[in-house]
Amino acid sequence: MSEREQEVLRQAAEAEDMTVSAFILSTVVPPRPGSSAPQSRHHDVGTGVRTVPR
């Protein structure tokens, strides 16, 4: 792999870091039909602090 290819990959990794992390989370821990716990956890992650009671 050339230095230019490595640089392009590095920039892409930095730009997409959050997107890839979210994608990996949703892939590794998918919502499962018939099971409420993974679905609720996935939903809480997606909606953030708004799900926390004040």
- Domain positions in the chain are 1-29
What percent of the chain has pLDDT above 70? 30
pTM, whole model, 2 decimals? 0.28
Tokens encoding 36: 């409420």
Position 8: which residue type? Answer: V
At residue 39 the predicted structure's pLDDT band, cuts being 50, 70 and 90, is: very low
Q: How far is CA 52 from CA 44, 45, 47, 49, in A?
A: 9, 11, 10, 5
Which comes out higher in pLDDT, residue 35 or 18? 18
